[in-house]
Amino acid sequence: MSTEERAALSEAHIAVHWREEGYYYPPAKFIGQANAADPAIFERFSEEHFPECFKEYADLLAWDQYWHTTLDTTNAPFWKWFVGGRLNASVNCVDRHLAAGRNRAALIWVPEPEDEPMQVITYQELYRRGNEFAALLRHFGGVEVGDRVTFHLPMVPDLPVSMLACARIGAIHSEVFGGFSGAACGERIADSGSRILVTTDAYYRNGELIDHKLKADQALARARELGVEVDKVLVWRRHRGEYCSKTPMVEGRDFFVDDVLRDFRDQLVEPVSMPAEAPLFLMYTSGTTGRPKGAQHSTGGYLAYVAGTSKYYQDIHPEDTYWCAADIGWITGHSYIVYGPLALGTTSVIYEGVPTYPDAGRPWRIAERLGVNIFHTAPTTIRMLRKLGPEEPKKYDYHFKHMTTVGEPIEPDVWRWYHDVVGKGEAVVVDTWWQTENGGFLGATLPALHPMKPGSCGPGALGIYPVIYDEDGGIVEAGAGRAGNICIRNPWPGIFQTIWGQPERYVDTYYAKYCRDRSSTDWRDWPYFAGDGAVQAADGYFRILGRVDDVINVAGHRLGTKELESASLTVDEIAEAAAVPVIDELRGRAVEMYVSLKPGVRTSPEIEDKVAKVIETEIGKIARPKNVWIVPDMPKTRSGKIMRRVIAAISNFSDVGDVSTLANPEIVDDIRQQVQAAKMARGELPRSLTAEEAEEIRAFGHLE
């Protein structure tokens, strides 16, 4: 069964046992300077004013030709925004800021080695670099309007330069997360039909200079197997003029960008004026198995949406110093490191390495040194920093006015540490719920106008009207205390346009489930199915429970993994927790918990006991874990998400599959040995799984 089918079949009656959390209010100082501080904004974006309300976002951009139709639904659900408009994304992110702020910092790049100087790239310099690389792509690479160009770049300034260069000449960039394998990159090259790969020789990660170019050769081999031949590999160099990879350059195919750029020095390229609906980029989702899903994002709608949400939700002003510690290889980085912040003309910080290198004080040193006042990261990073350096933030003199969290539900306990310790009680916290497919935030509080509630993302964002449906399409009302499938009733400018080359899959995955009439051109008939379980409190705030297919069905009770994990984290000693299903003769499935401890805490059976007990009291006897495993660390993706399928496989003695793309593949064997030996000793012997069971475990958590 495919993940789509599983999602379609899954009933969303996930048990909900969350305790209501109290409100936190934004500091007066924040409210006094906020971009959105007047509640009249809610009226402007009310449903009655849809879709015209989004003119407010479109008007943040410079248009070569103004649009005539806000939203065209004639080919539903392939929405078209700002039809008739023409613009260029690189002009909007760079050129138009030159007059007022030519020498303001656009990007500040922080290399991982702490003794290597930071690189400040002004808007003028970004303009120059973007133009030169655009000229190179066009004249040396032969790239034309609408061509796809794949990047496999880590967190180096060459990545935003490459993105903006593509945008300048109307080419569609497709950045593959630098941590992905060569093979994964090759599959995405083939899927998008790119003839050019832009990569780098090496980058620093965790103190090590990692050879990256070797992945390019693997990528090209994989793409060739899939029938796509790459003409040119353009290799940026981490240290200009010095090649730091062991892989030989292939004559006539591989070129050092810094060499070739000499021929394009100081060249300017006339930006191509693109229709609003022209694709700006593809972003492959950290998807399921099978063919990768390239989410195709538009130029006008996307850019308007990320500019608008950056302004109101991130509260970005041009004079701010904004640091989003995500990777540009993910949608968060595209929208909220590059396009959104640069569209607003602010200073965006890019950090090359891992946040805990060389120690857990690093992010706070960066914040102090640069005067960062807006900080944006993911719960997994927050948990890691809390685990390794709970007292570190206090040692540094930085002051955030605003902090974002994104990527997964944040446990209230972790939220409070973020707010109290990282934010020093001075910053608003905005929990932003959205997806690769969405372009920008869907659920979040408007920081000066809504109180915060730990663990809840808040209400729908401006102009976004969410609804929770049960399996039969009935509405689960706010305050009902029941979870269901969260959907968005309306299209919005940031929504992706299609899955590249797979329009049927786009309709089937995201719209088929609750579509009222396939022939309708009325957007009201096409709710967007997000695939997340959620519950809405009486105050209208949504709490996301995670993917609807991430539930553990114990004797007919559907338990959300996040709830089990949140309960575990209320045990003082626990730093991280992951819940997985284990096939159980009696109960169908039972819960197993994996936990890691805060530093300095010793493993003990008492801790296992505490976890089991708290789950029993918070959620119920039915959820009592069959085993609690205290492990040194969790297997994680390079974006920091716990790979539940890997530990689920270990718990069920099944095949862990490909773990090469993990951030810490070596942990898998350690955990396997520990857990499986203990299981054997307890008489929990391996048994062979049926094909369906094996598939269920393999797809659990369904990341990558």
Q: Which residues bind ligand WT7 (CB under 6 A)?
A: 285-286, 330-332, 406-409, 431-436, 457, 530, 532, 544, 546-547
What phi and psi values does residue 107 have, to the nearest 5 degrees? -125, 140
What phi and psi, each to the nearest 5 degrees, are found at residue 224?
-65, -45
CB of 258 to ligand WT7, least distance (A): 32
Of the candidates 277, 284, 278, 294, the residue with the CA atom closest to the CA atom of residue 145 = 278
Minimum CB separation from ligand WT7 for residue 332, in Å? 5
- Supply the minimum distance, in Å, between the C-beta of residue 115 and ligand WT7: 32
Q: What is the CA radius of gyration of the chain?
A: 24
Least Å from the CB of residue 297 to ligand WT7: 13
Instruction: Report the SS3 class of residue 114.
Output: coil
Instruction: Report the nearest approach of ligand WT7 to the CB of residue 245 (Å).
Output: 29
Cβ atoms 340, 310 nearer than 8 A = yes
The smaller minimum CB distance to ligand WT7, of residues 236 and 541, is found at: 541
- Report the C-alpha gap between 704 and 702 in whole angstroms: 6
User: 165 or 331: whose CB is closer to ligand WT7?
Assistant: 331
Q: Which CB atom, from 437 or from 592, has the smaller least distance to ligand WT7?
A: 437
Please, which residue, 95 or 532, has the CB nearer to ligand WT7? 532
Shortest distance (Å) from residue 279 CB to ligand WT7:
18
CA torsion sign, 233 to 239 to 240 to 241?
Answer: negative
Please state the closest distance from residue 22 (CB atom) to ligand WT7, in A: 19
Least spacing, CB of residue 324 vs ligand WT7, in Å = 11
Query: Which C-beta is closer to ligand WT7: that of 627 or that of 637?
Result: 637
> Would you tell me how many other CB atoms lie within 10 Å of the CB of residue 75?
9
Q: Do 322 and 79 form a contact (C-beta atoms < 8 A)?
A: no
Give CA–CA dist 304/430, Å, rounded. 20
Beta bridge partners of 592: 580, 627
- Cβ(242)–Cβ(258) below 8 Å: no
Residue 251: Cβ within 10 Å count: 6
Helix (H, G, I), strand (E, B) or coil at 405: strand
User: Which DSSP letter does residue 533 get?
Assistant: E
Element housing 222 (H / E): helix 213-225
Q: Smallest gap, in angstroms, from Cβ of residue 182 to ligand WT7?
A: 21
- The secondary structure of 63-79, three-state, reads CCECCCEEEECCCCCCC
Q: Please tell me whether the peptide bond between 358 and the residue prior to it is cis, using omega within 30 degrees of 0.
A: yes
Convert 658-696 to b/e letters by CB count within 10 Å (16 or more is b).
Answer: ebebbbbeebbeebbeebeeebeeeebeeeebeeebbeb
Where would I find the beta strands (DSSP E) of 266-318?
274-275, 279-284, 294-298
Nearest-approach distance from CB 580 to ligand WT7, in angstroms: 17
What is the distance between the alpha carbons of residues 114 and 352, in angstroms, rounded to a whole number? 11
Among candidate residues 352, 546, 541, the one with its CA nearest the CA of residue 452: 541
| Shortest separation between residue 442's beta carbon and ligand WT7, angstroms | 9
Closest contact distance (angstroms) between CB of 329 and ligand WT7 is 11
Of 389, 380, 422, 405, nearest to 664 (Cα)?
380
- Other beta carbons within 10 angstroms of residue 303's beta carbon come to 31
Residue placing its CB nearer to ligand WT7 in the complex, 345 or 533 = 533
- In the complex, minimum distance from the CB of residue 702 to ligand WT7, in angstroms, rounded to a whole number: 11
Say how many C-beta atoms besides its own lie within 10 A of residue 259's C-beta. 12
Closer CB to ligand WT7, 85 or 491, in the complex: 491
**CA dihedral sign of residues 315, 316, 317, 321:** positive
C-alpha–C-alpha distance, residues 187 and 152, integer Å: 12
Of 128 and 644, nearer to ligand WT7 (C-beta) is 644
CB of 426 to ligand WT7, least distance (A): 22
Residue 627: Cβ within 10 Å count: 18
The structure tokens listed for 503 are 């329009």
Please report which helix (H) or strand (E) contains residue 159, including its range.
helix 158-168
Nearer to ligand WT7, 435 or 520 (CB): 435
CB nearer to ligand WT7: pick between 299 and 332: 332
Chain centre distance of CA 417: 22
Residue 59: CB minimum distance to ligand WT7, A: 25
Closer residue to ligand WT7 in complex, CB, 431/633: 431
> Closer to ligand WT7 at the Cβ: 72 or 532?
532
Residue whose token pair is 């205290």: 630
Q: For residues 264 and 281, which CB has a smaller minimum distance to ligand WT7 in the complex? A: 281
DSSP state for residue 108 in the 8-state scheme: E
In 378-447, where do the E strands start and end? 402-406, 428-432
Nearer to ligand WT7 by Cβ, of 150 and 436: the residue is 436
Q: Is the peptide bond before 379 cis (omega within 30 degrees of 0)?
A: no
Shortest distance in whole angstroms from residue 655 CB to ligand WT7: 24
For ligand WT7, the closer CB: 132 or 550: 550
Of residues 192 and 456, the one with the C-beta less far from ligand WT7: 456
Q: Which residues pair with 232 in a beta bridge?
A: 196
